Amino acid sequence: MELLFLGTGAGSPSKTRNVSSLALKLLDERNEVWLFDCGEGTQHQILKTNIRPRKVTKIFITHLHGDHIFGLPGFLASRANQGGEEPLTIYGPAGIERFVRTSLQVTQTRLPYKLSFGLLETPGTVFEDATFKVSFAALSHRVPSFGYRVEEKPHLGELLIDKVRDAGIPNGPLYGRLKAGQTITLPDGRTFDGRDFIGPDQPGRTVVICGDTRATAATQALAQGATVLVHEATFGPDESQLARQYYHATNLQAAKIAKEAGVSRLLLNHISARYVGAAAQQLQKSAQRIFPRTHVVHDLETIDIPFAKEQ
């Protein structure tokens, strides 16, 4: 599981930061990529990566401001032109389906794949299957804006090799059957239940990705105990009044939320073009005084999301 940041800027593109989009790469887990927001130029950023558009099966939109959605029609068309035929679902606030379908209709763009929409209404679970659960909560912005919580289901525990060997079970295909929890019978007639040789389930990872928002208790609740929290930091440490006025957050407010929510790591994005070079580093350093595991991300940066025992 990896996060690849395609655009980390606020409002308008700059020479160093494109507008909002990030990819959650789940290639090992389910051979898919999920996009979160799709600002203008997202498909150009993707060209600089190893992401294949046809692998993108879900797009989660946080809110309907242009810097988060203007890249959608172009990406959908390019996905079609590059051979994408797999179905794709877009989740987002009311209005997202009208925006997309109108854009496709006006430009007479026809997609060879099924396009579905999941509209965000009552906060709660928006998607769930055997491997992942995605829920959402309302944040605080000038327009309806949401944060997503992506929870990986627990993994089957590790095979207890020493215990297997102590039982005199010969190495080979039988180990795989034990790992799968199956019952095996040896040539000497002894029978073993694979579940007796598997350790405790390994907790899955949790990633919380927030749209534009003021500092709000809703974010803290959504992010509780998360492995990674992705939060905006449009304003700096001395700009809390401006942040409130424009419905955004400061780096220090994000750090306080991360600390109180008990997350493992905080990734700051949606960085204003006013913060470049040393100024961006200062955003990180001042936030680290509150929450040491804070990092200001940059465009095309990949962040690996390890299991708890690997952190």
Length of the chain equals 311
The first and second tokens of residue 60, run together, are: 């989660």
Q: What is the mean pLDDT of residues 102-113?
A: 97
What is the reported pLDDT for 295?
A: 98
Quick one: pLDDT at residue 221?
Answer: 97
- What is the pairing mode between strands 206-210 and 191-193? unpaired
Judged against a pLDDT cut of 90, whether residue 27 lies above it is answered with yes
pLDDT reported for residue 243: 96
pLDDT in tens, 230-281: 999 999 999 999 999 999 999 999 999 999 999 999 999 999 999 998 999 9
Q: Confidence band (pLDDT; 50, 70, 90) for 179?
A: confident
The CATH class for the domain spanning 2-155+203-306 reads: alpha beta
- Cα dihedral 271/273/277/280 (nearest 10): -30
- 309 has a pLDDT exceeding 70: no
Question: Mean pLDDT throughout 85-109?
Answer: 97
Confidence of residue 310 (pLDDT cuts 50, 70, 90): low
Q: What integer is the mean pLDDT of 65-70?
A: 98
The pLDDT-based confidence of 67 (bands split at 50, 70, 90) is: very high
Is the pLDDT assigned to residue 289 strictly greater than 90? yes
pLDDT for 250: 98
**Which pLDDT score, from 0 to 100, does residue 2 have?**
98
* pLDDT digits 0-9 by tens, 207-225: 999 999 999 999 999 999 9
- Look at residue 181 in the predicted model and tell me its pLDDT: 87
Q: What is the average pLDDT value for the chain, to the nearest integer?
A: 95
Active site residues: 67
pLDDT > 70? residue 91: yes
User: What pLDDT was estimated at residue 124?
Assistant: 97
Is beta strand 56-60 parallel, antiparallel or unpaired with respect to 32-36?
Answer: parallel
What is the rounded average pLDDT of the residues 6-22?
A: 96
pLDDT in tens, 221-235: 999 999 999 999 999
Provide the sign of the torsion angle of the four alpha carbons 292, 138, 147, 39, taken in this order. Answer: negative
How many other CB atoms are found less than 10 A from the CB of residue 285? 14
- Look at residue 128 in the predicted model and tell me its pLDDT: 97
CATH 3.60.15.10 domain position(s) in the chain = 2-155+203-306
Q: What pLDDT shows up at residue 52?
A: 96
- The Cα–Cα gap between 236 and 162 comes to 53
| Coil, helix or strand at residue 68 | helix
Per-residue pLDDT band at 199 (split at 50, 70, 90): confident
